[in-house]
Structure 1
Amino acid sequence: MNLRLHNTLTRRVEDFVPLDPSRVTMYVCGPTVYDYIHIGNARPAVVFGLLARLLRRRYENLVYARNITDVDDKINAAASAAGVPISDITVRFAGAYHEDIARLGVDPPDLIPHATEHMAEIIAMCERLIASGNAYAAEGHVLFDVSSYPDYGKLSGRSTEDMIAGARVEVAPYKKNPADFVLWKPSSGDLPGWPSPWGRGRPGWHIECSAMAATHLGETIDIHAGGNDLMFPHHENEVAQSTCAHGGKLFARYWLHNGMLTFAGKKMSKSLGNVMVLHELLGMYPAEVLRFLLLRAHYRQPLDWSDSTLAQARATLDGWYGVLRDLAECSVDPTEEVVPQEFEEALCDDINTPAAFAVLADLASRARKASTESERHETKAALLGAGRLIGLLQQDPESWFKQTGSGDSIDPAWVSALLEERIAARSSRNFARADEIRDELAKKHIVIEDSAQGSRWKVVQPGEATG
């Protein structure tokens, strides 16, 4: 089956054909590390991390880079506000990002380049752009001359006039054109800076990714991905400066962009006070619930984040884990797990996770109805194989149902002791004590499921249906 991807550059879904099948390259824009990331920042890491898994199933050598921006005015402001060195901020929040993303089941990339480790390459790229006539130095700054690149705006599909109108363009007397963007800027003594031909300074945001991508992946890369909020100006500027710095070579052959998150139908933004911080969410919900919801909608579409969608995600996973729990006596070795063809075909169709989840739901339905040992084994092996590829159903089913909202486990011995006491209380007609025990369990969101085979318990989320 062919892997097909929507290429922002051409506005169509295309077969993915790497430049060199023996070395496939992918670059994904990572975070600026001045604070904990919000849940929207996690979407590209999850989605394009899944794409990396698909690529690794097809090609022996994928070189996947996801950068860290560790020099930026927001970092400077955060360090100043906290009264600490800038490195304290970047080290702390880069570490938090890696830990939180790993909890979401995101595989680490092959390379994690940091902007501060590539100053020589950034300065060299600025020098090449000046030599080629695409950039100029002025008052300690180096600026890219947008008028020197006729294809500026092709990626985002905007005219130069529209881009200037829609962007917060800095008006400065040293600019030749209002749209010219900064490649290098001077640093005062209280800000981080590096020596350069134009004086002590630091890079502009856009040049960092171009230099890091070229250093580690080459002048032309196969895939460049990130959120669609980066399409302009960040990615548009990357295209311009990289193409010109490399003598007109195509910078990225496939551009992929994921849609943004909304909260209860409204754009997620700090000004509205509705930003959901990933680090905090991981303390409130199991990580697989968050991962499921990030993959629930097609990656190019907006994704609404709300209490109800979280509850739906948990309920869906509860159903699938319930099937696996019912199949507990059917042993499947990890080597026996299989990825169903229709499941992988869905993912290969431009990472169509909704279609893939429909296949998972059908597998779960078939597993519930399986009447023979071979059918149970086959469907369980398929459920586990599909789940492993997409990063779900990775826990022991019994443990899944006995965890708190944040994924912490409830002590089974404590619950069992209370249940035994409740049975004894009911038998002796001490209903008041039985009710007290029920209420004590309910405070921990524990519900009892009675059946002909006996009683089982599970933890539900606040507001989740218990029937």
Structure 2
Amino acid sequence: MASTQQPHDAPKAAKPTQDSWRIPTPAFDEPKIKVFNSLTRSKVDFVPKKPGVVTWYNCGPTVYDASHMGHARNYMAQDIMRRILRDFFGYEVNFVMNITDVDDKIIVRARQSHLLTKYLSDLSTSSAPSSRVLQEVTSAWTAYFLKAFSASLATPPADDSFEAASAGWAEVQARARDAAWVEQEKGKNEKFPMYFAAVGSGFEAVEAARKRGEGSLEDAKALVEANKDAMGLWLDKQFGASVTDPAIFRDLAAFWEDSFFHSMAALRVERPTTLTRVSEYIPEIVSFVEGIVERGFAYEGGGSVWFDTAKFEGAEGHKGAEEGDEEWRHTYAKLQPWSKGNRELLEDGEGSLTSTTGKRSASDFALWKSSKPGEPAWPSPWGPGRPGWHIECSVMATAVLGEGMDVHSGGVDLAFPHHDNELAQSEAFHNCRQWVNYFLHTGHLHIEGLKMSKSLKNFITIDDALEKYSARQLRFAFLLQNWNARLDFKESSMQEVRSAESLLNNFFALVKALAAEAKEQSVASDGQHHYEQAEKDLLAKLESAQLAFRAALCDSFDTPTALQTLLDLVSQTNIYLARGRSSTNIRAVLAVSEYVTRMLRMFGLGEGSPVEGPAGERVVGWGTAPVPGQEDAGVDRDAVLMPYLRALSSFRDQVRQLAMSNAASSDILALCDRLRDEEMVELGVALDDQDDGRAMVKLVPAAQLRAARDAKAALAAEKAERKAAAAAAAEQKRLERLEKGRVDPQHMFRTDEYSAWDEAGMPTKDRDGNEVPKSRTKKLAKEYAAQKKLHDEFLKEQAKAQA
């Protein structure tokens, strides 16, 4: 037996090792998320404090009136950015929004609404003469006019009587005929047109009542309604202090809060993670204000507490407050330092009811307001009062998110003083240098190039907009504009939206039809892979689009570029599909449709669930198709199927009848066309005839098919009408030509203009017996030849008619 031992000098076998591996080198640089930060007025890298989590506070509405398109612009833009961060970039977003239900505007609106309602109610139950109502409405109109137009008069009114105000109104009306003067007044006060209309209609009603004399109860109510703006102010001045029931203020705010969220739901704006209301955080607000006072940045004056902007500006931060950053000083008005001394903005930020008693500087702002009679009040160390406007957001954001946040957002009109005051009081309380890391301000909304305003009569509520456009169309329009730019909402842009919507609808309808066909066909291979250069090019375009889409969203949520990338990809895929079904690789097309579907739905443009593809993928469409596998859940099969079955059965019966009567094939084809253009259209089924003799079946909303059919029919009718009109014109021209040819050329020149003719009827001498010149004879010969041609045609037609 041979020995198995190796020689002592034989080398040991090397232990197998894996080959070396290198980190791949990316073909493209990974785009970083950048956002336009109002704190720097530039695009900066987005770096949340916690990996994968974004804390976000959003200024919610002050609820005292109907939500309008300005609200839609603001909250839909923030909804889109929130969805992008969460559903595209994968962040968990803790989104907090407040409801301002304690505010000067709410107090004034609630009191005026309550007092006006009570006034009208009292009219119905009192026996007071309408002359008293006329006197009170006249006083209200006078006060309203003097408040609105005293500064517009060339000379001040002699007194505050109705007669003096009437004279002043006549002067305003006369000057308003000058367009330049009107523009000048609008420049001073953008509400000028609103005041002009209210004063004008109110004055007409007062004058009519004065001429009529004693009137009925209905006349009195109509007079009050015509002057409701003036009466609301007058009643509030007279009796506002008597409104003490807190429910009056809460009920108004609750009503409009519910209306706001109803409008947001209609626009598919998601509700916040956490919703806060000012009225629910009063104790926390009092404690917060106490903290600012203790730190020396606020003072009490006149029963109110004021933030001391002068003391805050440049104040040194406490050492060690921020690790690695010991030396720093507070800064006031970080967002808009150029607005610090803007008295108009400062006063508007304080509210119409705020008393300035005890205030040291014009730039100081109220943290806590002393409540006057007719205003809601809560207890505090400084006496009964209510929160200032700015303090509410600082307190509620702190209560939910802690000592700072990643993102704060709101409309650009809030930047100063509201957000700047928020920053100052919060950084004073928390002793921090940067309470907010990223401030995102959404741009203004204009209507057809003009700022939206009731005075300009271009004020559009969300409900008004949804009567004309779908929620999807409005969101699409907003996506086509950058979130921080001014958005001009106009009909031409909505036409662009409809065009894009049509492109996508048609694309999804076609892909769904192709997917359904593929699903019905056998999965057995035909021996060909169907992955040629066209498919390679299509998927290369998909990858390029995906990279461009990501880069756009990284570039401060550039949705216009991102959305256009999707539309371009769909157009390129349509070019691929135009080659015909026989050369279509459904898998390549589904890859595109699945991506486009997911991105559109990520933006919030989807409705319902996408349609199932040939192997179970939910890949196609942004419409209202049912969730795959749940078609029968809770569905009445008879109600769904019978309309289609009846149409098919009726068609079968009519085809059999035509066949048994030996009808012409054209009759059967006409029946097929009627099935396609009438019955199937009403059922939402499109049958597109193809070159191979088979019809492409698509499920499309019936309204969309009817519109397309009717447009086609209208076009055909218009073409037929033009053809008939052209034929009628040609016939008229022919008849006129024949009528002209009725005259025999031998007689056409036998007039008193000539005195001699040859045997053919051509003139030889004029009326004076002179020979007709050769040049004249030549011209007459041409006329004679033309008439002979016409006369020959006439004789020919006459002979045909007699035959």
TM-score after normalising by structure 1: 0.83
Alignment match of 2:428 (pick from 216, 220, 244): 244
Equivalent residues of 2:66, 2:260 under 8 A apart: yes
Match of 1:40 in 2: 70
Match of 1:103 in 2: 266
Match of 2:112 in 1: 81
Q: 1:165 to 1:119 in 2, by over 3 A?
A: closer
Note if 1:168 corresponds to 2:347.
yes
Deviation of 1:72 after TM superposition, in Å, equals: 1.1
Equivalent residues of 2:607, 2:623 under 8 A apart: no
CA RMSD for the aligned pairs? Answer: 3.8
Deviation of 1:400 after TM superposition, in Å, equals: 7.0
Match of 1:349 in 2: 555
**Which amino acid counterpart does residue 68 of structure 1 have in structure 2?**
I
Deviation of 1:416 after TM superposition, in Å, equals: 9.2
The within-5 A match list for 1:316-465 is 316-329=500-513, 330=515, 340-368=546-574, 369-370=576-577, 371-395=584-608, 451-452=688-689, 453=695, 459=703
The within-5 A match list for 1:80-159 is 80-83=111-114, 85-150=248-313, 151-158=331-338
Equivalent residues of 1:22, 1:61 under 8 A apart: yes
Please state whether the residue corresponding to 1:179 is helix, strand or coil: coil
Highest relative contact order (Cα 8 Å, sep 6+), 1 or 2?
Answer: 1
Please state whether the residue corresponding to 1:25 is helix, strand or coil: strand
Equivalent residues of 1:363, 1:382 under 8 A apart: no
Equivalent residues of 1:23, 1:62 under 8 A apart: yes
Deviation of 1:206 after TM superposition, in Å, equals: 0.6
Deviation of 1:144 after TM superposition, in Å, equals: 1.1
Q: Distance in 1 between matches of 2:567 and 2:418?
A: 39
Note if 1:178 corresponds to 2:391.
no
Structure 2 residues not aligned, in runs of 5+: 1-30, 115-246, 314-330, 519-542, 578-583, 611-620, 626-638, 655-666, 669-673, 690-694, 713-803
Please state whether the residue corresponding to 1:327 is helix, strand or coil: helix
Equivalent residues of 1:45, 1:106 under 8 A apart: yes
Deviation of 1:123 after TM superposition, in Å, equals: 0.9
Q: Distance in 2 between matches of 1:287 and 1:361?
A: 19
Match of 1:235 in 2: 419
Equivalent residues of 2:407, 2:439 under 8 A apart: yes
Q: Distance in 2 between matches of 1:303 and 1:34?
A: 24
Q: Distance in 1 between matches of 2:282 and 2:75?
A: 25
Q: 1:198 to 1:362 in 2, by over 3 A?
A: same
Equivalent residues of 1:44, 1:227 under 8 A apart: yes
Deviation of 1:172 after TM superposition, in Å, equals: 2.9
Q: Distance in 1 between matches of 2:271 and 2:345?
A: 35
Alignment match of 1:13 (pick from 38, 43, 46): 43
Match of 1:335 in 2: none
**Which amino acid counterpart does residue 383 of structure 2 have in structure 1?**
G
**Which amino acid counterpart does residue 195 of structure 1 have in structure 2?**
P
Please state whether the residue corresponding to 2:305 is helix, strand or coil: strand
Please state whether the residue corresponding to 1:105 is helix, strand or coil: coil
Q: Identity, % of aligned pairs?
A: 33
Note if 1:4 corresponds to 2:184.
no
Q: Distance in 2 between matches of 1:367 and 1:74?
A: 53
Equivalent residues of 1:36, 1:96 under 8 A apart: yes
Equivalent residues of 1:367, 1:375 under 8 A apart: no
Match of 1:217 in 2: 401
Q: Distance in 1 between matches of 2:547 and 2:640?
A: 38
Deviation of 1:61 after TM superposition, in Å, equals: 3.6
Match of 1:65 in 2: 96
**Which amino acid counterpart does residue 6 of structure 1 have in structure 2?**
F
Structure with the largest fraction of helix: 2
Equivalent residues of 2:607, 2:624 under 8 A apart: no
Equivalent residues of 2:605, 2:622 under 8 A apart: no
1:94-134: per-residue Cα shift (whole Å, max 9, x none)?
A: 22222221232222221111111111111111111111221
Deviation of 1:41 after TM superposition, in Å, equals: 1.2
Match of 1:256 in 2: 440
Q: Distance in 1 between matches of 2:32 and 2:387?
A: 40
Equivalent residues of 1:387, 1:394 under 8 A apart: no
Deviation of 1:81 after TM superposition, in Å, equals: 3.4
Specify the structure having the higher radius of gyration (Cα). Answer: 2
Deviation of 1:186 after TM superposition, in Å, equals: 2.0
Q: Distance in 1 between matches of 2:370 and 2:356?
A: 14
Please state whether the residue corresponding to 2:347 is helix, strand or coil: coil
Please state whether the residue corresponding to 1:323 is helix, strand or coil: helix
Please state whether the residue corresponding to 2:94 is helix, strand or coil: strand
The within-5 A match list for 1:251-290 is 251-290=435-474
Q: Distance in 2 between matches of 1:124 and 1:318?
A: 56
Q: 1:67 to 1:466 in 2, by over 3 A?
A: farther
Please state whether the residue corresponding to 1:55 is helix, strand or coil: helix
Q: 1:173 to 1:90 in 2, by over 3 A?
A: closer
Q: Distance in 2 between matches of 1:55 and 1:118?
A: 29
Equivalent residues of 1:54, 1:348 under 8 A apart: no
Deviation of 1:139 after TM superposition, in Å, equals: 1.2
TM-score after normalising by structure 2: 0.50
Deviation of 1:32 after TM superposition, in Å, equals: 0.9
Q: Distance in 1 between matches of 2:497 and 2:595?
A: 21
